[in-house]
Amino acid sequence: VATNNFPSSNGRTIPATIISPNTIIELEKGDPVVFEKYWKKRSEECSIVIRGWELMSYLGDAKNSVCWYMLPEVERGIRRLHHVVGNAVTNDRYIVVGTGATQLFQAAVFALSPSHPSQPINVLAAAPFYSEYQDEVSILRSGLYQWGGDAASYEKNEPYIEVITSPNNPDGIVREPVVKSEAKGKLVHDLAYYWPHYTPITHQADHDLMLFTFSKCTGHAGSRFGWALVKDIEVAKKMTRYVQMSSIGVSKESQTRVAKIIGVVCDGYENFGSMESELFFEYSKRLLRERWEKLWAVIDESKLFSVAKYPKAFCNFTNESSEPFPGFIWLKCEEGIEDCESYLLEKLKIRGRGGKRFGVDSNYARLSLMGTDDDFNEFLKRVSNA
């Protein structure tokens, strides 16, 4: 493998793999491998040993009358993490855990849908919306709910469920509900990216049903773990029922790892001063900031592509005012390029996800900013030479 010296995101010079100009750079999925370097440095303290006889039961906590498959240390860890970060209220909230926020989103839609509807309830999200919602809602052609499209253009006087993704995937914008209908609506807040590395923490979110994921918080997408903070016990129980029907709970191996890693993150903040290494959110924010700064330098010079600028806000967690540093680049192709996804693939050999999948025009495309240093640097090189 050919290598070349390249400045890394921590300022040191490391050998970078030279990527052939014919190799396709895969930036279509939001795989958060950018955080791997941090966890490599904390390798020992984050390791767990699970013996052959351990964690054999379906049960996690027989005393938990709502989410009976959740391990108590996971519940404590999640409450502690939100307390440390200050991004969401956990008092008087039930916690339901799932195999990723993907499973919990479906559990939430199921739980909020009327049980015996005359017609399926509409599930909406403002465009550009996270592209998977539509498929997740439609795949089983449920009689309970159906995909209703762009929330901003919903005019029916019928009950609905609106998903508010904030900050939004794909465009990183902080959002509020948008449906204007007189009809009764229920809200799901997908706060997958409401963490200090991606966006300033301006307040403690306090909604009825909030979804979070370990995938985007620490980057451990492979653990397939997410959680919901739910105000209403009946909704929480119905979500648990959905998870039970779908997978009878969540892997205890994953839960054990989640509890361990959340513990390491929180210990760092609560014993501040005693740690040698940089703390997780500071490290990961610095890393994303560095990538965004490099990106701006290239985009500002580009005649083909643009990216909207974000306003600054004060972050209560980091005690500084800063722009958001989203995990995705929401790229707009300038006039003359109608299909941004095809242009990127055919001309630059960069695979992104086109605007159509997010409910908007094909002159937009989403690219992951969370991939490896090599892929990101090669992406910048190709865009600046375009």
The site for ligand PMP (CB under 6 A) is made up of 30, 100-102, 130, 165, 169, 190, 192, 213, 215, 221, 226
Nearer to ligand PMP, 215 or 256 (CB): 215
Taking the complex as a whole, how short is the minimal distance between the CB of residue 165 and ligand PMP, in angstroms? Answer: 5
Nearest-approach distance from CB 209 to ligand PMP, in angstroms = 13
- Would you tell me how many other CB atoms lie within 10 Å of the CB of residue 267? 16
* Strand extents, DSSP E, the chain: 3-7, 13-17, 25-26, 94-98, 121-125, 145-150, 160-165, 185-190, 209-213, 226-230, 305-306, 313-315, 320-322, 328-333, 350-351, 353-354, 364-368
CA 355 to CA 360: how far, in whole Å?
5
Per the CB < 8 A criterion, the answer to whether 46 and 52 are in contact is no
- Least separation in angstroms between residue 100's CB and ligand PMP is 3
Nearer CB in complex with ligand PMP: 18/127:
127
The DSSP secondary-structure symbol of 259 reads H
Residue 188 C-beta: closest distance to ligand PMP, Å: 10
Cα 317 from Cα 315, distance rounded (Å): 5
Measured CA distances, 196 to 37, 92, 231, 326, 379 (Å): 18, 24, 24, 10, 25
Residue 211, phi then psi, degrees to nearest 5? -110, 140
Smaller CB separation from ligand PMP, 179 or 221 = 221
At closest approach, how far in Å is the CB of 169 from ligand PMP? 4
Give whichever of 190 and 375 is closer to ligand PMP, judged by the CB atom: 190
Q: Least separation, in Å, of the C-beta of 175 and ligand PMP? A: 11
User: Of the two residues 126 and 221, which places its CB atom closer to ligand PMP in the complex?
Assistant: 221
Minimum distance between the CB of residue 178 and ligand PMP, rounded to whole angstroms? 16
Residue 209 CA: distances (Å) to CA of 146, 212, 291: 19, 10, 32
Question: Which residue has tokens 């209403």?
Answer: 232
Closest contact distance (angstroms) between CB of 215 and ligand PMP is 3
Among residues 9 and 165, whose Cβ is nearest to ligand PMP?
A: 165
Q: How far is the CB of 173 from ligand PMP (least distance, A)?
A: 12
In the complex with ligand PMP, the residue whose CB is nearer, 19 or 188, is: 188
Q: Cβ neighbours of residue 132 under 8 Å, at least 6 residues apart?
A: 102
The least CB distance from residue 353 to ligand PMP, in Å, is 11
Distance CA(138)–CA(31), nearest Å, equals 24
In Å, how far are 46, 146, 213, 226, 331 from 223, measured between CA atoms?
A: 14, 29, 10, 9, 29
Asked if 354 and 338 count as a contact pair (C-beta separation under 8 A), the reply is no
DSSP 8-state class, residue 338: -
Q: Based on CB atoms, which residue is closest to ligand PMP, 60 or 167?
A: 167
**Distance, CA of 144 to CA of 241 (rounded, Å):** 15
Residue least distant from ligand PMP (Cβ): 100
The angle at the Cα of 304, spanning 302 to 308, to the nearest 5 degrees, equals 75
